[in-house]
Structure 1
Amino acid sequence: MDDLKLVLKEREKDSHKGENGTVLVIGGSKDFVGAPALAGLAALRTGIDLVVVAAPYRTAWTINTYSPDLITKKLHGEFFVKAHARQVFDMVPNFDVICIGSGMATRPETESFVREVCSEVVTRPKVIDADAIKALHGMQVANAVFTPHAKEFEIYTGQKLPDKEKEKTDLLKSYASRETVFLLKGPVDLITDGSRVRRNTTGNPGMTVGGTGDVLAGLCAGLLAHNTGDKFHAACAAAFLNGKIGDELYRKMGYGFTAGDMIHEIPASISRCLR
């Protein structure tokens, strides 16, 4: 909860659209349309001003029908290819934070696109999730927050996570740094920047439902857009808030809640945490 208070800044009364955080979500494919929409809406619900989703053409149009609150950039084709990188580079200066990976699917052409974007975009913090983590296997990325689950971490590093938490934490720290924060998702989330380590215990088994990871990535991007200089505290706040929302929904609905339900709960949960 303290991390959330550190990250969220007071909005100026005379501020204008775009001055309270902007996020570019890069994700989606013909088979995974909902994931980037969930990430984008989660980011928006943290209280930032603007989210744009860059997605393959039909995916982007479907996202438009899902929510009028999300603007989309429609990229030619059914999935990301390396040629799309130039269009993304042209967009990046207009945003505070980049969130990449949700619903991208795994194709060689998409992997090339992700590696190109994450190597060239260094001036904006990046939240790297899901298929983008897999695409970056073995590649160091600066100015980033990685949000893997155990299998994604193993694909990225080539190393199996130990069972004991101390050994797991030490391995995680060896890949993290001040510029590269890791948020390892699990029954207990582990967040580290290589020196500081935080355990997050909010959350419950109902959060194994599809889409909760996309919500987490969006929360992290949105909170980071409030204060783009503090990746560690933004990641800690996102993990806490994501689990807290899941716990609140479990009390109301049992294990029948969905990632979409989590989106609607975000503003009220933030308000309760800040009281």
Structure 2
Amino acid sequence: MEELEASNTVTSGSSTFSEDMCLTVEQKLIRLIIPPLTFVAHKGQAGRIGIIGGSREYTGAPYFAGISALKTGADLCHVFCTSSAASVIKSYSPELIVHPVLDSCNDGTEFGALISKLHALVIGPGLGREENTFSIMHQVVEKAKELQMPIVFDADSLFYINSHPELVEGYKKAVLTPNVVEFSRLYKAVIGADLGVLEDLNMPVQALSQKLGNVTIVCKGIDDIISDGDILTMCKEKGSPRRCGGQGDLLSGSLGTMLHWAHMAHDQSELVNFSNWRPNIIAAVGACMLTRRCNYLAFQKYSRSMTTTDMIVEIQLAFTSLFS
């Protein structure tokens, strides 16, 4: 096991953030993957992100993920949802390109042309658990894997992986983002043993990653534990005690954007001196730091009344204070 540790102090406005895992090394590496803003860039270069999710009951989750991907810095975001969710999601923001296809096609072929134009996928926010939806999702993932596309698996897609771990096994560009409860279920399904009540989840997270063929796992909790089976690190960026619904969607959306940036930088040899830090790890740490900083900043204003909408407003300041 290789565990990465260091310390740094970051100041934003009148607030000082001093955490053991707000690393100078981390911040430098994350800055390396961020594409510069130039007048010669064209629309799409900074990221075309796909969100697969959105059902009649859950329309907020794909919106939160999509708008977070855009505000983190992606240029375009496509949301693939059910027909009953499309109009609602469109009404939240004109920035999202919405495709009501999850319940209107019998297989994943309809996604083929669109998927090939995307840079990364975020699968699961508001997806629901309909068998037909899962079937289409499975085929889309297989297509994305053929294209070697980075994929974030969150929420209901993790429920599907419980019984179909082969979908992600050995795919090194996959990142799973379970909370503690989702992680416990996934651990039991894949490892075959109850996790029990543990204060330290470091070893179980690493063990599950190894069992899945070194798929990257971000176990969300008091501290976010991140491992690809070889590397193990944690994000201890200061957050808040408020646990409103939708924070995980902000994480998955921003992670989709950062995954594209990290792999693009890696492929262009921008990360030649990144030592043992791999693209998935850099992107995961960056997204976790960003989400926690948004949480902290919004909580200072709204305390118990804070919602994820308040956090999204803070993405620009959080991003700038961390990485600019």
TM-score (norm 1): 0.91
Alignment-mate amino acid for residue 258 of structure 2? L
Partner of 2:276: none
Give the distance between the partners of 1:218 and 1:261, measured in 2 at CA. 16
Q: RMSD over aligned Cα, in angstroms?
A: 2.0
In the alignment, what sits opposite 1:87?
A: 110
Contact between 2:66 and 2:78, CA under 8 Å: does it hold in 1?
yes
CA contact (8 A) 2:214 2:230 kept: no
Q: Quote the Cα distance in structure 1 between the aligned partners of 2:312 and 2:97.
A: 17
In structure 2, the partner of 1:145 is 175
Rounded Cα–Cα distance in structure 2 between residues aligned with 1:119 and 1:16: 29
1:121 maps to 144
Partner residue, 1:96 = 119
Amino acid at match of 1:176: S
3-state SS of 1:121 partner: helix
Mapped partners of 2:309, 2:302: distance in 1: 13
Q: Is the partner of 1:242 in helix, strand or coil?
A: helix
Instruction: Please give the secondary structure, in 2, of the residue aligned with 1:152.
Output: helix
Q: State the Cα distance separating 1:84 from its structure 2 match.
A: 4.2
Say which of 231, 249, 252 aligns to 2:301: 252
Question: Which residue is equivalent to 1:222?
Answer: 257
Specify the SS of the correspondent of 1:145: strand
The alignment-based identity, stated in percent, is 27
Deviation, 1:95, is: 0.7
**Corresponding position of 1:34:** 60
Taking the aligned partners of 2:129 and 2:229, their CA distance within structure 1 comes to 29
1:111 aligns with 2:134: yes
Would you say 1:241 and 2:276 are equivalent positions? no
Query: Any conservation in 2 of the 1:104–1:132 contact (CA below 8 Å)?
Result: yes
Q: Is the 8 A contact 1:187 1:204 kept in 2?
A: no
Q: Does 2:237 match 1:188?
A: no
Q: Distance in 2 between matches of 1:163 and 1:200?
A: 21
Change in 2 beyond 3 A, CA 1:150/1:160: farther
The aligned counterpart of 2:157 is 132
Aligned pair in 2 of structure 1 residues 11, 160: CA closer, same or farther (>3 Å)? farther
- Mapped contact 2:119–2:150 kept (Cα < 8 A): yes
Instruction: Give the equivalent residue in structure 1 for 2:4.
Output: none
Is contact 2:102-2:136 (8 Å) kept? no
The aligned amino acid for 1:71 is: I
* Structure 1 pair 201–76 and aligned structure 2 pair: CA distance change class (3 A): closer
Cα distance in structure 1, aligned partners of 2:88 and 2:107? 19
SS at match of 2:49: strand
Kindly name which structure, 1 or 2, has the bigger radius of gyration based on alpha carbons: 2
SS in 2 for 1:136: helix
Cα gap change, 1:55 to 1:39, in 2 (>3 Å): same
Q: How far is 1:204 from its partner?
A: 2.0
**Structure 1: gaps (5+ residues):** none
Task: State how many pairs are aligned.
Answer: 270
- Aligned twin of 1:176: 209
Whole-Å separation in 2 of the counterparts to 1:247 and 1:75: 37
Shift in Å, 1:197: 1.3
Unaligned runs of 5+ in 2: 1-21, 267-278
Counterpart of 2:180, as a letter, is A
Mapped partners of 2:135, 2:64: distance in 1: 24
Q: Is the 8 A contact 1:97 1:225 kept in 2?
A: yes
Look up the equivalent residue of 2:160 and give its one-letter code.
A
SS in 2 for 1:94: coil
State the match for 2:271 in structure 1: none
